[in-house]
Amino acid sequence: MSQILQTKSDSKLYQDLFFSGKKFQFGSNANEATCYVCGKGLEHGFSVTAKKFSSGTLLFCEKHYSM
Ligand SMILES: [Zn+2]
């Protein structure tokens, strides 16, 4: 069961990246897209979203984005 969910969420993630994708590109940039709070990122199976602040743009995983 968890394997199925993992696969599903991975493919959704890649689709999101692919279709929404001018901000993120595959390759070296993907490795740098990690959460500002916990450091988890695409390589850990977390989707990472950019959030804009007056001081700049930070990246947050799905858990920390709403905090
Ligand atoms: Zn996080």
| Predicted structure pTM score | 0.50
CA 4 to ligand 1 centroid distance, Å: 23
For the chain, the structural domain boundaries read 32-67
CA 17 to ligand 1 centroid distance, Å: 18
pLDDT of residue 36: 92
CA 36 to ligand 1 centroid distance, Å: 7
CA 60 to ligand 1 centroid distance, Å: 6
Q: Could you read off the pLDDT of 6-62 as tens digits, one per residue?
A: 555 566 655 555 555 555 544 444 447 899 999 999 888 999 999 999 999 999 999
Say how many C-beta atoms besides its own lie within 10 A of residue 12's C-beta. Answer: 11
CA 46 to ligand 1 centroid distance, Å: 8
